Structure 1
Amino acid sequence: MPSGFAKKTTGLTDDTEQRQPLCNVDGVLFRTGDPIPTEDPCESCKCRPPGFACVLRECEVKPHCKAVRRDGQCCPEYQCGCEQDGKPYKDGDVVPSPQSPCYVCFCQGSSIRCTLVACQFRGDCEPRYVPGECCPRYDHCPPLVAHQERLPL
């Protein structure tokens, strides 16, 4: 809605004096195509006799990012990145888990998301656990052979 105006008027054409279509917005005259000031930075209005036409700007949405709004700007700026222990990470980067090596963490937008690591265990030999690693190693085990079915000929 035009700024400083309590109500929106239809802005009837006033071409009797200047023979050019004008918009009358609460006593202020605008020529065809002229921008009409608004209080809302997301709204853009132009003179389109006999009134005016306004459109709302659509803002890009970035999921998982932190939106920072600034006075006088329609759309927010987004902060898409993470920080852990003072070290910055970009969106999508692997982030060391602060909890344990059994979690894998990623920077997603502006937050760190972690999931539990899925380990594979074998019942046919002894596992070897390494400090600082989540899943056991099977260094001295026979190689795994894929199960193959034999069909009669």
Structure 2
Amino acid sequence: MLSGLIYFLFAAISVLFGLETGILRWQPDGSGLLAMALIALVIPSLLEELFFRAPLLWATRGRAFFWGAISLALFILWHPLNAWLFLAEVRILFFDPRFLIIAAGLGLACTMSTVMTRSIVPATLMHWLTVTGWKGLFGGEQFIGA
């Protein structure tokens, strides 16, 4: 329940910020949405949550803040590094401060949820809803050459 509230706040702030700054544009596109959503559930959602948030499950409650901060920093840094090393087609986007602010918000919401629930399931769903919504409703595909 608290994870849902955290996600709602993240999503509302991100959509308002994204529309205001132009990083998001209301462009609903249902073509290929189901296939994209199924792929997004695994890549990036589940894989990134396994890598960035699952290690938090082993952190003791007293160290969760410390490891959560490291997890969040690595998650944010991963996006430009990933674009630089592997995904040249998204370099402009993944280096854009507006995108990184939204990614930081998502990372914070996912980190908080993982620490509170001691599960990566809510974080994976948050990540998946964000990617699917971004690509299916807010013009995300325009940034990745699709």
Please state which band the TM-score falls in when normalised by the shorter chain: under 0.3
Larger helix percent: 2
> Which of structures 1 and 2 has the larger relative contact order (alpha carbons within 8 angstroms, sep 6+)?
2
Higher Rg: 1
TM-score, normalization by structure 2: 0.19
